[in-house]
Amino acid sequence: MGSDDWAWLSVWAKTGRDPLNSAAVTRWLPLHQHLADTAGVAGLLVDQWVSPQVLARLARDLDGDAVEVRRLVTWLAAVHDVGKASPAFAVQNDRLADVMRARGLVAPPRLKDDPQRSRARHEYVGQDAVRRWLADELGFRFRGAAAQLAGVIGAHHGVPSTPSDIALVRERSDLAGRGEWEQARAAVLRWATDLVGGPAVVKRFADVTFDRPSQVLLAALVIMADWIASNDELFPLDPLHTAQEPPVRPDPDRTAARVGAGWRELELPPRWTPRPVDDVPEAFAARFGRDPATVRPVQVAAVEAARAQERPGLVVVEAPMGEGKTEAALLAAEALAARFDADGCFVALPTRATTDAMFGRVLAWMRVLPGLAADASVMLAHGTASLNDEYRGLLWRGQIRDVGDGGDEAGIAHHWLRGRKKGPLAQFVIGTVDQVLVAGLKSRHLMLRHLALAGKVVVIDEVHAYDVYMSSYLDRVLHWLGAYGAPVVLLSATLPAARRAELLAAYDSGRAGAPEPPIEEPGYPVVLASGDRPRPVPASGTPRPVVLERLVEDPELDDLDALVDTLRTGLAKGGCAVVIRNTVARVQKTADTLVAVFGEEHVTVTHSRFLACDRAHLDAELLRRFGPPGPGTQRPPLHIVVATQVVEQSLDVDFDLMVTDLAPIDLVLQRMGRLHRHARRRPAGLERARCVLTGVEDWAGAPVRAVAGSRRVYGEHVLLRAAALLTDRERITLPTDIAPLVQTGYGALMPGPAAWHEKMRTAQQTHELEIVRRREQAAEFLLGDVGGPRATLDGWVRAGVGDADGDGEDPRRVGQVRDGAESVEVLVVQRDRDGGLRTPDWIAKNAGVQIPLDEQVPGKLARTIAACALRLPVGMSQLNPVGDGVIRALEQNHYASFDRSPLLSGQLVLVLDDDRTAELRHGAAAFRLTYDLRRGLLHQQL
């Protein structure tokens, strides 16, 4: 070749700046070296890191040939930045552009200020170049595999192209580069093709159809390889003075040394090699320390259903509270992982609190998993994960990587597999359900989230707890997981038949083959699995009757007086009662009355409007006082807990007497699971489980009507149906009555007296219209389906939300997979008398510590502040002028020190005075907030 034929070697890809002078570029890397590094990393990812479950899915498009998968991924990585051979990219550095000009690659300096230069992005230039080259030089069909593989190149910065992006690249030839620039790009593509064996190797893909799930996984692997190869600690840049004439030619030995050293330094954890679960009772004993004879039937059925799967599918475990569904799910996940070569597990739960509680249980399971290395990667996935002491210990182990065999420990939070985008790629992830649902949200770098899920078994708990809005995202995610062949385990106390059918159909819609017929009455408890018969099983233990009463108010008294009378009578000989209200306002009002009657020492208040650290303390106290019998439980002789729905899920607490607001039938039953939950001696008069229903305007009404706050939370339709089932009922037997009540409560036939039906039909019509509205609202940012065989990534996340995590955006608008009613979170601090800030003076750890206002907040102090997170009332968080005013008022509390702390940056701050009060005023918003240590946050509109 003549000197002009080597002009492409002068193209630059990376620059580095002087750490002491950010304006001075002192390092660089030529394009060919970065591409060679990335290709080397991609090959190692396929060889040593990518889940075999993902490789099998990719090989499905290539006649099952895993070797071809490696060649394809390596080639895509080797060409991913070919678009950097363009004037729009070159002009970003004058000195390096001059080197390129000397080789004939002319990039006019004026282009640097062209307003459209930023739109002629190098990934889109590369996409157009790859598509044309595959078609023109290798004979690919322009609208077939050429378009599909080129779309992977266009997506490698996290956002696939749109037709307008490619149109601009073609229209602005001065930005994309023609002539000598096209020749340079073609030279890069020929060189990269030679890296994988030459044109004949790449031509093998010419007639392949790559479906959209395969394209997503390929794009994710290219992104991951690019990010690793772009880490200049792993792959150092060259001194700037080496950018010279003539340019240095590719050196395979140098590349091999760079890739080997970088990979060793990266130290990605080895794959998990799961082993089949042969003896279910013995496996339960080994994993959870259980006597094999005590393994429950539903647990055995769940694992047997997992082992019976002929291809990846959905396993649904429906069983009452206390049946050990979590243990069943983990062992089922282990069996599914062994069956289909998954490399980890993603366990998703409804809330941060339930996620934190689950984290230790999953770690304990991991410690005894066969075939799992001590340095398996783990992530706790929610916004305040770094506040979890156990997870923070894993973060430390991830930094100090020479940890030997780990002793009795399992897992590290790997130093590279961290952060919101990379963290879910860890082998074992325990997170809030949002972390799964965002896989159905159009957002930047969505491919990485899909890769993270596609290689695992996904376990989702409490699927009955998700509303229509969240369920739209859950159904779409299940559709994609079905397409990837990722096994899924869903857990629920029980599901309405229609919802169960929707979940099974959603997963089925993504995988090839005929859909499964719906199952109307599978029994209860039951395990259902794709392609398998229902497995109904008996519940463990003796059926437990619960006496059901209604709190009938004296017309001369209000409901609080009637409640006091009920509790005085019921607790005459002592005992522990729980009063569950559907709104925080009702909790606070009820607690004030009960404190006045029973004394503050006998009443505990818990709801969502306490600081996160205070909530954690309250949860720990609830477990200490009302948890399972044992040496750590100190049950008081007389106590009343007044709570919202926070006691409904996951907390293993047990009360002698329950009073609950009317709620949807499945949630009433869920609440009853906290009544006489464990075997223990009860006070006189409380030997029988007793649940008292309240929260209605008039039990004699036709129909019964729930109080206004409950109707706002749940809607009138489901409350009317629950009232119709419970208004005359005197006893419920758990778990026998759970499934019949839930199926009737959500079934097609209308329950209750005929005199109620007209108003119930009206409520149902309103409910159905609301479902349509919420689904339409969810659809705005809902990811599309997998598409047909000709589908590409073009426009895949068009009109999306940017980063799903919402950095720097309105917290009410960005990355939402929960309904718009989700409240805004703030960090609470107090103002000193001299105008400074301190941590709240009442918290258990680091109370009243001075907070710097300018320099970065120290790590320990930042964790304390982050633990003071608090959710504002929904009425202050809406997308309306009031909510806008609240956000604007909070944004006035801006501190440079918070911006400099990764844990605090971008968070809204609420500043209280010495009296723990604050006023927020801006536009239509005017509120006085008070933090009461016993009652939580109080708010008053001014």
Structure confidence by residue, pLDDT tens digits, 104-127: 999 999 999 999 999 999 999 999
CA angle 486, 487, 490 (to 5 degrees): 130
Q: What is the pLDDT of residue 403?
A: 40
Phi, psi of 350 (to 5 degrees): -70, -35
Phi then psi dihedrals of residue 561, to 5 deg: -65, -40
pLDDT, residue 402, reads: 43
| Range 555-577 average pLDDT | 86
> Residue ranges of the alpha helices (H) in 349-457?
352-366, 389-399, 419-422, 434-437, 446-454
Distance between CA atoms of 202 and 130, rounded to whole angstroms?
Answer: 12
pLDDT number for residue 909: 95
Calculate the average pLDDT of the chain: 89
Query: 564: how many CB neighbours lie within 10 A of its CB?
Result: 17
Cα–Cα distance, 374 to 396 (Å, whole number)? 14
Query: Residue ranges of the domains in the chain?
Result: 8-266, 358-363+373-429, 544-734+750-765, 825-941
pLDDT surpasses 50 at 806: no
Q: Which of 292-301, 375-384, 535-544, 615-624 has the lowest mean pLDDT?
A: 375-384
Close Cβ partners of 87 (under 8 Å, ≥ 6 residues apart): 106, 107, 108, 111, 174, 175, 176, 177, 181
Please tell me the least confidently modeled range out of 323-327, 347-351, 540-544.
Answer: 540-544
Query: Which residues is 917 bridged to in the sheet?
Result: 930
Mean pLDDT of 900-924: 92
- Amino acid identity at 55: L
Q: What is the DSSP letter of 411?
A: -
Q: What is the bridge-based pairing of β-strands 908-912 and 869-871?
A: unpaired
Q: How far is Cα 507 from Cα 474, in angstroms, rounded to an integer?
A: 10
232, pLDDT greater than 80: yes
Under CATH, which number does the domain 8-266 receive?
1.10.3210.30
pLDDT of residue 811: 54
Are 489 and 336 a contacting pair, CB within 8 Å? yes
Amino acid, res. 358: M
500, 528 Cβ separation under 8 angstroms: yes
Q: Is the pLDDT confidence value at 820 over 60?
A: no
Question: Alpha-carbon distance 389 to 387, whole Å?
Answer: 6
Alpha carbon of 805 to those of 181, 444, 446: distances in Å?
A: 38, 10, 11
**Which helix H or strand E contains 258, and what residues bound it?**
helix 252-266
Instruction: Note the pLDDT tens digit of each residue in 196-227.
Output: 999 999 999 999 999 999 999 999 999 999 99
SS3 825: strand
Half-sphere exposure of 563 (CA within 13 A, CB side): 29
The amino acid occupying position 766 is T
Task: Report pLDDT for 392.
Answer: 67
Give the Cα separation of 166 and 794 in Å (integer): 10
State which H helix or E strand residue 35 sits in: helix 31-44
Cα angle, residue 829 at apex, residues 823 and 832 outer, rounded to 5°: 150
378 versus 575: the higher-pLDDT residue is 575
Predicted confidence (pLDDT) per residue in 498-529, tens digit:
899 999 999 999 987 666 776 778 889 999 99
Sheet holding 238-239, edge to edge: 12-18, 21-30, 238-239
Q: What is the pLDDT of residues 634-685, one digit of tens each?
A: 999 999 999 998 888 767 899 999 999 999 999 999 999 899 998 899 999 9
Please give the average per-residue pLDDT across 6-14, as a whole number.
92
Q: Distance between CA 34 and CA 234 in Å, rounded?
A: 12
* Common-topology check for domains 8-266 and 544-734+750-765: no
N-terminal to C-terminal alpha carbon distance within the chain: 80
Phi/psi region, residue 43 (left: phi>0; alpha: psi -120 to 50; beta: rest), is alpha
> What are the helix (H) ranges across 430-535?
434-437, 446-454, 468-484, 497-510
- pLDDT at position 421 over 90: no
544-734+750-765: CATH number: 3.40.50.300
Residues 6+ apart with CB under 8 A from 847: 839, 840, 841
Q: Note the pLDDT of residue 819.
A: 59
